[in-house]
Structure 1
Amino acid sequence: MKRFIKSISVPGAKSVTVSVAPTQRVTMDDGSNGVEKTYVGNMERYDPTVRKSLFDRWLDSVVHAAGSGYVFIGVLTILLAWAFLGIKYGKSEMWQVVISDFQAIFCYIFDSFLMRQQLIGHDSLMTFAARLRSSNISNSRMLRQFIEIRSEKQTAIEERDANLITSEFPRVNWLGRLSNFAAGVTGHIITVAIYWIGIFVWIGFGPYCGWSNKWQLYINSATSALMVFVFVFLENIREQHRQYSESCLALIHRTDSSLELRLRTITGDTVANEPVVIPSPQVSKIQLVIYYYAVIVGSLVGIAIMLIVVIIWLVIGRAMSFDANWWLIIGTYTGLIGMTDGFILRNVFYHQGLDEDRAFDQVRAEDLVMFDILGQVFPVEKEIQQSGLSYRISAAIGRLCSHEIVVVVGTVITIGLVIGASVMKWSTMGQLLCNIPPSVIESFFMIILITSQDIADAKRRAVLFNIYQRRRQLLSYINNAPIGDGE
């Protein structure tokens, strides 16, 4: 609770990252009792949940469960069941309103899940980058000591270690590869174009249908079903990426700890690792407000508010005779909030991704210093070749949609829709006005987010692999270099 109060009282402060790598302690038997000299280290297991409260860990578990394959299959089953029921009840407005309300409530909850998922992943990567920099400080110091005590005979890294090392690095399983492929198709620029073609075709039928409520409900039902699929799919691929990333981070941690332990064993250095602070980036006041909002939504306070709204909605149902307007009220509220969350989520994903890039660029720069100390060539790095037209267009759209001004525009649109519905006295037409545009806009933003997620995942996998490779080569060099005093 104290952490939550602090986070909402100081917008943006959550971006500050402070961490320290666990110091590898070495105990040595000097062999005075005729026992061979031994070295004992205490590499700690990588734990991304360290220092989290029980409540935070519980919330994280709920978010992870929401991204599981079971939830994904369950939601798809519900969508298929609704579609088959449409054969018989498709002409009923109630059938269309049900999917609209289900989508609105479902996506509102998953907005919070996705936001928390984003904050969890960002915090984990930033903390890990700070830990690597913490160990880099000690390793650079010990490498200089290592140079002093090393014999004059130089030993280069073996040729087999100069190439990309892939034998131990985690591989993406078949389900992950299938999800990555599906993400590439779903978020492809052609898919986005087809989406907007469908929207414009629907608009073209407006005069023919007399701009009726039924005509509006058609697109509302279609975008509602699409949004449910996109949200649960995005949650699922993010969860798979989290699991894969954590396996990579655990391997890098073990390798980095082994390097530190080996250097401490050789040099006798016992100075503890220093904490590293990654300050929050300098951003505009608008961006700070966006982060502020994201932290509140990511803490699931939004769901608590949602529960209150649902209770009030249920209470007033009898007074409104549970008519179509009553059914649309909940969709109207969650639709407007959901559209705002879509703008916020896309913005936060982009800007926090830039923060992560800067953090790992600093790790790379410090790694380069360690190779310079040893006089070794910096290893060849794995790169992601993404230069096609579709990639460039998708990246450009992603950057545009992530700008803080776009968030402001989205807020203005929301206010405009509320004013328009109020002028129409919140009639069925007025509520549909607050349902359909948000649904269309949010669907587009979620599709774009899938594209950005696919691009970012590929890039992050390459970054983590390169970090691992550099530590493997440093460890290999230290293990193979002869030491003057012997070991």
Structure 2
Amino acid sequence: MERFIKIISAPGAKGATAGVAPTQKNVGTVVKVSDNTVEVYAENDANYDPSFKKRLLDRWLDKVVHVAGSGFVFVLVMTILLVWALFGIKYGQSEMWQVVISDFQAIFCYIFDSFLMRQQLIGHDSIMTVAARLQSRNISNRRMLRHFAEKKSDKLSQIEKLDQSLITSEFPKVNWLGRLSNYAASVTGHVITIFLFWIGIFVWIGFGQYCGWSDEWQLYINSATSALMVFVFVFLENIREQHRTYSESCLALIHKTDSSLELRLRIVTGDTTDNETVVIPGPQVTKIQRAIYYYADLVGSLVGIGLMLIVIVIWVVIGPAMSFDSDWWLIIGTYTGLIGMTDGFILRNVFYHLGQHEDQAFDQIRTEDLAMFDVIGASPPAEDEIRDSGLSFRISASVDHFCSHEYVVMLGTMIMIVLVIGASVMKWSTTGQLLCNIPPSLIESFLMIILITSQNMADAKRRAVLFNMYQRRRHLLSYVSDSPIGDEQ
């Protein structure tokens, strides 16, 4: 019984992350070149692997998530939207045509909700594992630097004379596709775009009385937001995947440089103590936030994916009984619309809070890095900074913080309950089902656009953090490598 309770309570528990950096071993041959210089050939375990053991199904699901964020899928979905728009010229006035695109959007976004959630969770687990390993190696490097600096006090000024080209030449550059995506993300998630989005909504509302508040009038905005949401979801998945790929290339270089620094220090100091295991505490959360994490874990897990497939299968099975009419089409749109709105609130919340936890871990690494420069009595390199200025940024940051609050998630749940009650009073007529389609669609569209804004700002900051981290390690490595080590052997 206790084991069962432990299993069902495991989701949502953002516990501690343990990690240990592979200890670099001086197992090679040392060849003396001159009286005060030696050339060292040693085995260096610099392979970057942020992964951890997973079940086969989980690994396959992760691959599916990565493919969903690929450029191929993005182009494919954009092509489908274009074809739909072109056929809409002829069939756009048909109620069934608009209902079908609404359902396509609902099912598509329902699936991508799960993918985005899983993408967020596996990305967080990977980043925290990397952070723990970096902190683990920092402990050893600082200990060895202290020993090294005591014997090399006359060489401390060398670090100030480094050629900056050595620091920047190797660091990965964002390719043209990444730059284009970053620009598109900044436009899509800009506060002006959000403003225009709501202007369009109010214009549509203004025509409500003229159109007699008809189902057709409701379907117009439903079709528009459906197309918008398909674009936003696939675009968000794509820019996240691009950021993951770029970040991994940066972290691989940081790991290689960090490993080289450790190996060099072990060679010159003779230190053979293994790197320590570091445990990064999990975030302190309220019961409400724990419940939010629980739901997020379910949505992004195999269980959530399985439930999603079961719902879709049941909907297909009951199709013949309902003669595949418009009400049958609206059923899946109603369900996924309500669930999608809830997932939108959850995604926004999880992205913000897990991002804060990751930032704290990287801040700790920065503090430890600066402590190593204190040990050798040298100034750290100047840092790249992302300036948090401008009206657009401040507005976006404020809206971002508000929408990610746990109480706002609870508000979203209350809205869903009210909409279900309203549709029940209307006996789940076409109008009642549209009531459960349109408001959730509008809210989720807004939340996803806000998420793109947050993703864009977070990506820019993370790129600066990774570049600064690499700079500090390259400076330390150059300092150690430039020092004669013959008298240490």
TM-score interval, smaller chain: over 0.9
Amino acid at match of 1:129: A
- The match for 2:447 is 445
1:359 deviates by: 0.4
1:315 and 2:323 are equivalent in the alignment: no
Q: Deviations over 1:420-459 (max 9, x none)?
A: 1111111111100100000000000000000100000000
1:13 and 2:13 are equivalent in the alignment: yes
- The match for 2:35 is none
Q: TM-score, normalised by structure 2?
A: 0.95
Contact 1:161 1:476 in 2 (8 A): no
Matches within 5 A, 1:409-420: 409-420=411-422
1:23 and 2:9 are equivalent in the alignment: no
Change in Cα spacing, 1:337 to 1:279, as seen in structure 2 (3 Å) is same
Amino acid at match of 1:41: E
- The match for 2:232 is 230
Distance across 2 between alignment mates of 1:205 and 1:109: 33
- List alignment gaps of at least 5 residues for structure 2: 33-37
Secondary structure (helix, strand or coil) at the match of 1:381 reads: coil
- The match for 1:395 is 397
Change in Cα spacing, 1:116 to 1:461, as seen in structure 2 (3 Å) is same
1:126 deviates by: 1.2
Q: Deviations over 1:194-230 (max 9, x none)?
A: 1000000111111111111001000000000000000
Secondary structure (helix, strand or coil) at the match of 1:277 reads: strand
Q: Deviations over 1:230-263 (max 9, x none)?
A: 0000001111111000000000000000000000
1:301 deviates by: 2.4
Q: TM-score, normalised by structure 1?
A: 0.95
Greater Cα offset, 315-324 or 58-67: 315-324
1:386 deviates by: 3.5
Aligned positions, number: 482
Q: Deviations over 1:352-378 (max 9, x none)?
A: 111011000000111111100100112
1:40 deviates by: 1.4
Amino acid at match of 2:246: Y
Contact 1:335 1:438 in 2 (8 A): yes
Amino acid at match of 2:219: L
1:119 deviates by: 0.9
Residue 274 of structure 2: which of 272, 277, 286 is its match? 272
Change in Cα spacing, 1:352 to 1:161, as seen in structure 2 (3 Å) is farther
Contact 2:28 2:43 in 1 (8 A): no
Q: Deviations over 1:261-292 (max 9, x none)?
A: 00001111111111111111111110001111
Matches within 5 A, 1:17-416: 17-27=17-27, 29=29, 38-150=40-152, 152=154, 154-161=156-163, 165-416=167-418
1:479 deviates by: 1.0
Distance across 1 between alignment mates of 2:454 and 2:427: 39
1:486 deviates by: 4.8
Contact 1:346 1:449 in 2 (8 A): yes
Distance across 2 between alignment mates of 1:202 and 1:135: 58
Amino acid at match of 2:476: L
Contact 2:188 2:449 in 1 (8 A): yes
Distance across 2 between alignment mates of 1:475 and 1:4: 50
Distance across 2 between alignment mates of 1:410 and 1:364: 37
Amino acid at match of 1:223: T
1:25 deviates by: 1.0
1:9 deviates by: 1.8
Distance across 1 between alignment mates of 2:109 and 2:7: 24
Distance across 2 between alignment mates of 1:188 and 1:96: 29
Greater Cα offset, 187-196 or 386-395: 386-395
Secondary structure (helix, strand or coil) at the match of 2:437 reads: helix
Change in Cα spacing, 1:308 to 1:390, as seen in structure 2 (3 Å) is same
1:161 deviates by: 4.3
**Identity of counterpart residues, as a percentage?**
74
Q: Deviations over 1:50-105 (max 9, x none)?
A: 42333222111100000011100110111111111111111100110011000000
Greater Cα offset, 251-260 or 376-385: 376-385
Contact 1:49 1:57 in 2 (8 A): no
1:125 deviates by: 1.3
1:454 and 2:456 are equivalent in the alignment: yes
1:344 deviates by: 0.1
Contact 2:132 2:278 in 1 (8 A): yes
- The match for 2:467 is 465
1:162 deviates by: 6.3
Contact 1:24 1:42 in 2 (8 A): yes
1:146 deviates by: 1.1
Amino acid at match of 1:218: Y
Secondary structure (helix, strand or coil) at the match of 1:210 reads: coil
1:155 deviates by: 4.1
Secondary structure (helix, strand or coil) at the match of 2:318 reads: helix
Amino acid at match of 1:350: Y
- The match for 1:434 is 436
Greater Cα offset, 274-283 or 103-112: 274-283
Structural RMSD (CA) = 2.0
Change in Cα spacing, 1:38 to 1:476, as seen in structure 2 (3 Å) is closer
Secondary structure (helix, strand or coil) at the match of 2:275 reads: coil
Amino acid at match of 1:25: K
Amino acid at match of 1:352: L
Change in Cα spacing, 1:213 to 1:10, as seen in structure 2 (3 Å) is same
Secondary structure (helix, strand or coil) at the match of 1:13 reads: coil
